[in-house]
Amino acid sequence: MAADWLGNVVSINCGLALGVYQGEVSSVDCASQTISLRQPYHNGIKCPVSEVTFSAMDIKELKFLDVQNTANKPRSAQGAAKQPSLISAGHHSQSSSNSRGATQATQKKNSVRNGSTMGPTRSKDDECFGGGTDGDLDADFDFQGNLALFDKAAVFSQIDGTSGHGSRTQHHSAQAKQKPLSYRHDENILEKKPVTYRQITVPQHGGKDYCTDSGLVVPSVSYELHARLLAAAEHWGLTLERRLEMIGVCSSQMALTLLGGPNRLTPKNVHQRPTVVLLCGPHLQGAQGVSCGRHLANHGVEVILFLPNFVKMQESVTSEVNLYGRTSGKQVASVKDLPASPVDLLINCLDCHENPLLREQSWYQSAAGWANQNRAPVLSIDPPVGGRHQTVEAKWTLSLGLPLPLAETESRVYLCDIGIPKLVFQEVGICYHSPFGCKFVIPLHRE
């Protein structure tokens, strides 16, 4: 009877440890209670060996997947007749996969699921996952048979167009001509034109050219032309007060970014608020610094304003100091009252375009000396032109409107939009197209 097993395709379940094997029966030894499979599959994956032998002690369940010798009997009857020769050992006669046993097991599960035996104690797993599919799970999936249903050669032949290739190619080419081109949301649907990178031209070149991140050229202008531009803007309503507010907002926004932005200024980090020191003089540049300090203090930054008690200050400085006095920021008049330890950021507004002799005064020299010893990074707002060496070396420099020809330093140059209209630029002979895009402060790179 052992010969009746040969050539049949069976599935052997060896439990969780060894898994499920499938293959063609190559030999059966009733004396040693072993069975061997040719070209076996282990859990659906082909085994690296050509034959595997199993002991009856390891077999938990045995199922017939394909019966080869079908001369005089139907498959179900023949399969049932062939089982006793090996299974009569008693260990797995109960787990043999005859159709009657599987049907009884399915009926039993259905009766349990319908609540006839368990009643109110029905398990939650059955309620959630017992959707009438457990009967189908008793049969192992036939990987080999399912793979045979997929004719890869025919499918790939159809994809490659080996059958009727010419007509298919002509059909697709005709569709390609008729189908309009589609564009992504970030693509330009208009015909492309060459980009003009020099969109700003000035009548009096300052001697240096800068470029933006996108490659636009931004020329420098002389101090005289810059002063004429500001005067024309003030004539059309861009007053000094409005410019100071714009400069204060833009410079404080840049300072907040340099301090860490949202990573540093959060409600959970009030115990580590950054400290900024502003060094200001009694002139327009000093008023710009005080405006910046007011906005920083409004955003929760610890601000310390250094402004000596001058006998005479510009009116713009006095107005900005009065506004700054309504914030939580501090004001000192002596270098001795400044912090001895390094601060997070130092904003330098000591220099003046019109009066270079301020550098010779004692208050200026003491403030510059303190800044150089504090070792804090320095942001310089609207520094003087390049002919004058910077007493306080800045890491960042913020120019207004258009850059001045600054001195050759390692400082990174940024440009601030102060709101001058395009026609005001044209009034002083400057052909202007805004290089700012969606920002109010942009970095400039030396060419």
Mean pLDDT of the chain: 80
pLDDT bin (cut points 50, 70, 90) of residue 68 is low
The answer to the question of residue 148 being in a domain is: no
The answer to the question of residue 420 being in a domain is: yes
Q: What is the pLDDT of residue 66?
A: 67
Q: What is the share, in percent, of the chain residues with pLDDT greater than 70?
A: 71
The answer to the question of residue 121 being in a domain is: no
Q: Per-residue pLDDT tens for 220-274? A: 999 999 999 999 999 999 999 999 999 999 999 999 999 988 888 888 777 788 9
Q: Are residues 251 and 384 in the same domain?
A: yes
CATH code where residue 15 lies: 2.30.30.100
Q: What is the pLDDT of residue 79?
A: 38
Place of tokens 């608020």: 273
Q: What is the pLDDT of residue 181?
A: 61
pLDDT bin (cut points 50, 70, 90) of residue 85 is very low
Dihedral sign computed on CA atoms, order 102, 104, 110, 113 = negative
What is the rounded average pLDDT of the residues 84-112? 42
Q: Are residues 90 and 220 in the same domain?
A: no
pLDDT bin (cut points 50, 70, 90) of residue 131 is low
The answer to the question of residue 114 being in a domain is: no
Is residue 343 within 8 Å of 376, Cβ to Cβ? Answer: yes
The answer to the question of residue 279 being in a domain is: yes
Dihedral sign computed on CA atoms, order 43, 48, 51, 54 = negative
**What residue numbers bound the domain in which 404 lies?**
205-265+272-446
The answer to the question of residue 124 being in a domain is: no
pTM above 0.75, yes or no: no
What is the rounded average pLDDT of the residues 368-389? 88
Domain termination residue (choose one: 82, 97, 112):
97
Domain termination residue (choose one: 51, 75, 97):
97
In order of 2, 146, 262, the CA distances from 40 in angstroms are 19, 16, 62
Domain termination residue (choose one: 97, 115, 147):
97
376 vs 136, more confident: 376
283 vs 183, more confident: 283
Place of tokens 């499920």: 20
CATH code where residue 393 lies: 3.40.50.10260
Number of domains in the chain: 2
pLDDT bin (cut points 50, 70, 90) of residue 190 is low
